[in-house]
Amino acid sequence: MEQKQFMNIKTEETIGIIGLGYVGLPLLINFGKSYKVLGFDSDEKKVEVINSGKSNINHIPSSDIQNLISNGPIATSDFEKIKLVDAIIICVPTPITVHREPDLSYVINVVNQIIPFLKSGQLISLESTTYPGTTEEVIGKKVQDAGHEIGKDIFITYSPEREDPGSKFKLQDIPKVIGGITNECLAKGSKLYSSVFNDVVQVNSVKVAELSKLLENIHRAVNLGMINEFKIICDAMSVDPFEVINAAATKPFGFVPYYPGPGWGGHCIPVDPFYLSWKAKEYGHSSRFIELAGELNLSTQSWILSKISESLNIRNLSISQSKILVLGIAYKPDVDDARESPALNIFSELYKNGADVDYSDPYFSELPRTRKFNIEKKGIDLTPSNISSYDAVILLTNHTKYDYDLIYQNANLIIDTRGVYDVDNIKVIRA
């Protein structure tokens, strides 16, 4: 397909992006190449940083933002300015509760904030991952209750985000799925996204679009659960799972390689499958594969902790007696994103069990705080003397910035969850 070029001259339309995180900020930048843009976020500090021309996300260069602010601020926390935009794209978090139920509070709060300022002709597009029915049952209903007619004066679509932090794919090259509440909504939304994305995939309803996003991530979640279970079985057989996977991957059809690690993480995989399993119960169906994948993820982290304990015991050490260095806090390599990171869970368990535990991650100078994790600690530098001072080094995130030879030469024990090192079961142990 021939690649489209962004327009050099901006249109008179203004696109509003609500939520300026890992999804919203890249969208703001990409729409800003063709349109006037205005970003909305309740975090005043984030708004201030963006308006100063700086990026608060590692893989997004500040120069991308500086290109947009020549005519003034591009971010605000004032939702009354919604009346200045022609399209509203919602990119706020949709987490799950401790009971693995959908938490739509961010979406609901945003819709309640914008409804008083809606004007005729505006498009509202939800990109946050959610259960099928949300766009119509939450956004559509609230808009209708406010006296608007969907498809006539307000147009509503669902177009799932496919942002992959640190990915080699450019945002505009990733096909954009979209569904509309009415045909008129779909047409208006498709026209907007087609001006920025090279391939827009129209589907027959918002539910199809909502489900497509869940299926993408359930597919990955189930396979990651399977491959981590496979890793544990291989370990019992004293077989290297990475060698097995690489051998299987030589088959040119019918096999997709997945690689084990310390468990899944990020903003999608640990959350999205449970949106469908929760909704399935409404229709009287269980989702056994999805629930099992979630249990396998947690059991993988428990298994890694047991491997750490076992490896230390062989050296006549307990976790509580040990000085441990964790390598990697991010949920995947080469990003500054620790959302739902298994590394944080493992770090926390080591800390709770009395280990003298530190970490090193080139993307985090101090441990991030989350709703489930609140330990105050700064990262350490990977010097020979620092590395050698620890009883064990636990490799949880395989950042390319690490000097793996330096680590190997100076570590007393390496417990490798990512398949970076050859295993000798003396200095290097696979987990």
Tokens of 47: 């708004």
Q: Are 122 and 155 in contact (CB under 8 A)?
A: yes
Rounded distance between C-alpha atoms, residue 222 and residue 81, angstroms: 42
**DSSP class of residue 99?**
T
Tokens 């040990």 belong to 322
- The count of other CB atoms within 10 Å of the CB of residue 295 is 10
268 is catalytic: yes
Strand 154-158 versus strand 356-360 pairing type = unpaired
Q: Which residues of 301-319 are buried (b: 16+ CB within 10 A; e: fewer)?
A: bebbbebbeebbeeeebeb
Sequence-separated contacts (24+) of 166-169 with Cβ below 8 Å: 166/59, 166/332, 166/333, 166/334, 166/335
Rounded distance between C-alpha atoms, residue 223 and residue 226, angstroms: 5
Beta strands, E only, 83-175? 87-90, 122-126, 154-158
- 394 φ/ψ angles, rounded to the nearest 5 degrees: -110, 110
Q: H-type helices in 164-261, by residue range? A: 183-194, 206-236, 241-248
Which position among 91, 185, 234, 268 bears the catalytic label? Answer: 268
Cβ neighbours of residue 262 under 8 Å, at least 6 residues apart?
Answer: 300, 301, 304, 342, 343, 346, 396, 417, 418, 431
By annotation, the residues acting in catalysis are: 268
